[in-house]
Amino acid sequence: MTTERHEAASPTRPESTVLGEVTGMLQEVLGEYGFTDAEITMGTRFHDDLELESIDLVTLSTALREHYGDAVNLAAFIADRGLEEIIALTVGDLVHHVVASLSAEPAAEAV
Amino acid sequence: MAKIRVGELDVHVQRMAAAGPPASDPPPLVVLVHGLLIDSLASYYFSLGPFFAERGMDVLMYDLRGHGRTGRPAAGYRLEDFVSDLDGLLDALEEDRPAHVVGNSFGGAIAYGLAASRPDRVRSVIAIESEPPVKSWAEKMAEGLTGEEGGLVVREVRAWLAEDPERNARPFQLAGRLLDGTTLGQDIPRSRVLGDTLADIRCPVFALYGADSKLSGQAGHLSATLPHCRTVILPDQGHSVLVERTKETADLILDWLQDDIHTPVKAG
């Protein structure tokens, strides 16, 4: 990565970029079910719209870590909200979590 | 996604390393074993897993044979097969720390089974809504899996789905494939069982129940039978303790683990 990180105002990855990246990961997970042309937007619900079950979110979590590093921790994000909240989770919730985690990272390292 | 070869089986494993200061040196090893049919390691990955890792413990989660992303062989589903998978997995990972083995429902039977067959491997058993695999357990499993209309478990899952048609049917479909496509239903009731005196369970046991579940009545007998046993019964709670009372479950197990960490290891 060539971008220089600034402590006071770290460069924020745009939501649209993260949505594109997350969409790619989701399509890979969905591909296992032969379900490849699903339209994915910020409002898409993992459970109701994509019929993902919790083990699919484990796969997604692994993909997120491989792509973004340890700063993005979906396990802890969901654990803080409670297991039953998985049902209401949207792609937008995840995108916001990724953006927030990545922009918080340099500050956390500075502590 | 990490797959570890154990015998003929590719086992899906997720580990969470102790974050922050370790709870002991080396950090305690906590193994989380999920339940039967509509369950996978995901039940822990988004609940107890990160909770214990953040508190300085090494967490190991895996999908049981036939479940989640682990392989689904056509046969070989007696309890001893599940126990030997866990034993073999710890071998494959070259893990020599005795583990605190947490089991939910059927996962607890696996934890007890490992404690009996490999006492050197198990530091303590934490059994959430589960019972030791004795003869009466096998009889109940037979009723649950192979009784009329596919058994009690299947009827309960159907009723659960019928309550809310919007519920995601995919986990149930997987459970159906496991029951229809493998010998699991016939194998589990034929498992090798422990003697009723539980003489083979010598490690400390923490058993957690929901008061409204059918299992909570066993708490008194269990603590009278085992040499070192703590039981807790959560009021106004049925079988789904882990899902519906996640925070209390995590805190209660943490208390148990911390008491163990601060108790000097007794010789012999």
pLDDT for position B180: 82
pLDDT at B136: 95
Residue B144, helix vs strand vs coil: helix
Asked whether residue A7 is assigned to any structural domain, the reply reads no
| Chain A residue numbers touching B38 (CB-CB < 8 A) | none
CA A11 to chain centre: 18
**Cα distance from B243 to chain A (closest Cα, Å)?**
6
> What pLDDT, on a 0 to 100 scale, did the predictor assign at position A1?
45
With 60 as the cut, is the pLDDT of residue A66 above it? yes
Of B42, B63, B169, the CB nearest to A57: B42
DSSP character for B139? H
Note whether A83 contacts B50, CB cutoff 8 Å: no
Q: What is the pLDDT of residues B179-205, one digit of tens each?
A: 888 999 999 999 999 999 999 999 999
Domain that holds residue A100: 15-110
Q: A10 lies in a domain?
A: no
Say what the pTM is.
0.90
Structural Rg of chain A based on CA atoms: 14
- Residues in a beta bridge with B100: B30, B124
Three-state SS string over B100-121 comes to EEEEECHHHHHHHHHHHHCHHH
C-beta atoms of B46 and A79 within 8 A: yes
Q: Which residues of A touch B (CB under 8 A)?
A: 47-48, 51, 53-55, 57-59, 61-62, 73, 75-76, 78-79, 82-84, 86
Q: Crossing angle for the helix pair B170-181 and B152-163, nearest 10 degrees? A: 160
Q: Which residues of B touch A59 (CB under 8 A)?
A: 1, 69
Rounded CA gap, A92 and A41, in Å? 8
Check B45 against A61: CB less than 8 A apart. Answer: yes
- A73:B50 CB<8 A: yes
What count of other Cβ atoms lies within 10 Å of the Cβ of residue A25?
A: 18
**Which one-letter amino acid corresponds to residue A87?**
I
Residue B54 Cα, gap to closest chain A Cα (Å): 9
Asked if B228 contacts B204 with a C-beta cutoff of 8 angstroms, the reply is yes
Around Cβ A102, how many Cβ atoms within 10 Å?
A: 18
- CATH number of residue A93's parent domain: 1.10.1200.10
Q: How far apart are CA B31 and CA B125, in angstroms?
A: 10
Ramachandran angles phi, psi of B11, nearest 5°: -100, 125
User: B102-151, pLDDT tens digit by residue?
Assistant: 999 999 999 999 999 999 999 999 999 999 999 999 999 988 887 665 66
Nearest-Cα residue of chain A relative to residue B70? A55
The complex scores an ipTM of 0.85
Residues A11 and B191: their CA atoms lie apart, in Å, by: 58
Say whether B229 sits in a helix, a strand or coil: strand
Contact present, B123 and B146 (Cβ < 8 Å): no
Among A54, A59, A67, A78, the strongest candidate for a mutation testing the B interface, having the largest count of B CBs within 10 A, is A54
Q: Give the residue among A98, A106, A105 at the shortest CA–CA distance from A15.
A: A98
Of the pLDDT bands very low, low, confident and very high (cuts 50, 70, 90), residue A105 is: low
Provide the pairing of β-strand B205-210 with B99-104. Answer: unpaired
Q: Cα-flanking dihedrals φ and ψ of residue A66, to 5°?
A: -65, -35
Q: Is residue A65 part of a domain?
A: yes
State the average pLDDT over residues A80-100.
Answer: 87
* pLDDT tops 90 at residue A21: yes
CB-defined contacts A:B, below 8 A: 58
Asked if pLDDT for residue A93 goes beyond 90, the answer is yes
Look at residue A46 and tell me if it is in a domain.
Answer: yes
Contact B69 A59 (CB under 8 A): yes
Domain-embedded: residue A9: no
- Eight-state DSSP code of residue B266: P
Instruction: State whether A75 and B69 contact (CB < 8 Å).
Output: no
Residue B232's DSSP bridge partners are B208
Number of domains in chain A: 1
Decide if A58 and B14 are in contact by the 8 Å CB cutoff.
yes
Topology given in CATH for the domain delimited by B2-136+193-261? Rossmann fold (3.40.50)
Interface of B with A in 22-81 (CB under 8 A): 40-43, 45-47, 49-51, 54, 63, 68-69
Bigger pLDDT: B153 vs A24 = A24
* Mean pLDDT score of chain A: 82
Burial class (CB in 10 A: 0-12, 13-18, 19+), B28: buried
| Cα gap B42→B63, rounded to integer Å | 9
Angstroms from A27 CA to nearest CA on chain B = 16
Smallest CA–CA distance from B13 into chain A, residue: A58
Give dist(CA A50, CA A35) in Å, integer: 9
SS (H, E, C) B194-208: CCCCCCCCCCCEEEE
Greater model confidence, A32 or B16: B16
**A84 neighbors B243 (Cβ within 8 angstroms):** yes
Contact A84 B243 (CB under 8 A): yes
**pLDDT-derived band of residue A2, with 50, 70 and 90 as boundaries?**
very low
Which of A48, A62, A83 has its CB closest to that of B246? Answer: A83
Backbone Cα Rg of chain B: 18
Please state, in angstroms and rounded to a whole number, the distance separating the CA atoms of residues B259 and A27.
45
**pLDDT value, residue B72:** 95
Place of tokens 């789905």: B161
Handedness of CA B224, B225, B228, B234 (dihedral sign): negative
Contact B66, B72 (CB under 8 A): yes
Q: Tell me what percent of chain A is helix, strand and coil, each rounded to the nearest 5.
A: 60, 0, 40
Low-confidence ranges of chain B (pLDDT < 50): 267-268
Name every chain A residue with its beta carbon within 8 A of the beta carbon of B166.
48
